[in-house]
Amino acid sequence: MNLIRNNPVAMYLQIADRLRTEITERTYEPSGRLPSESQIMARFNVSRVTVRLALEQLDKDGLIERRKGKGTFVAGKQVRHQIDTLRSFHESLKVQGFDAMMRIVELSAIETPQAFRSLFGAQCTLLERLHVVNDEPIALGRSILPAFMSALEPEIAEQQPTYALLKDKADANIVSAEIEIGARAVSHRITSLIGATGNAVLLVLERTSYFDNGACAERSEFFIRPERYKFVLGNRMSNF
């Protein structure tokens, strides 16, 4: 777009109008991240001051969020999790184009909690990972896995989603999952890990997945910041 330099409408307002149109047209889907200030400067051949005035206008209009050190995003952009598709939590972030990563909080062999001994026996593996999008924590995943998963290398566990890890170690496919979604207050440890306020009520997804031989593959809980996450159900079930 070429700006009209002699237009009575200030250049920063022209830029703001163009970016507003692009936001409306969903140009910045799926992540919602706008170009950097430098990229906008180069695109319109204007000064940084002019770009910042344009972004301030969009901010006043409630169309964008400016996160220090992270960039500018469409306001209210949410992660969408398709619950009728058999897909790992991390994979659902990646397929939408988000800059998603995982950080291990704990990976250890533990005594199986009494409620899950019928699924995993006396010993199991606890894997906790922080799910991060654009350097911002959005969820904590806590998974109880079969005992043999305690041999996981931490570097691999930070790179691969749960289902891929299980398929690799067990040499078996995951074919079904039972999912429950609710909301509840959680411990201070969890809210502090994901950057939520101490009294926050979080979305909680509970998932139990099964191998093709009927054995339980994992029992997971995901504690999710609700302002950035939405669960959706399609009108047609995907094949497992």
pLDDT at 239: 35
Query: Could you tell me the domains of the chain?
Result: 11-74 (1.10.10.10), 79-232 (3.40.1410.10)
The helix/strand/coil state of 199 is coil
Check whether 224 has a pLDDT greater than 70: yes
Nearest-angstrom CA–CA distance, 134 and 31:
9
> 10 Å Cβ neighbour count for 205?
20
What average pLDDT does range 103-122 have in this prediction? Answer: 96
Share of the chain above pLDDT 70, in %: 88
Quick one: pLDDT band at residue 52, thresholds 50, 70, 90? Answer: very high
Quick one: pLDDT band at residue 237, thresholds 50, 70, 90? Answer: very low
Helix (H) or strand (E) holding 131: strand 123-133
What average pLDDT does range 200-219 have in this prediction? Answer: 94
The DSSP letter of residue 36 is P
Cis before 30 (ω within 30): yes
- pLDDT tens digits, 27-46: 887 678 899 999 999 999 99
What is the amino acid identity at position 34?
Answer: L
pLDDT at 7: 67
pLDDT at 8: 53
The helix/strand/coil state of 176 is strand
pLDDT at 203: 92
Check whether 238 has a pLDDT greater than 60: no
Considering the entire predicted model, what is its pTM?
0.68
The DSSP letter of residue 12 is H
Helix (H) or strand (E) holding 223: strand 216-224
pLDDT at 30: 66
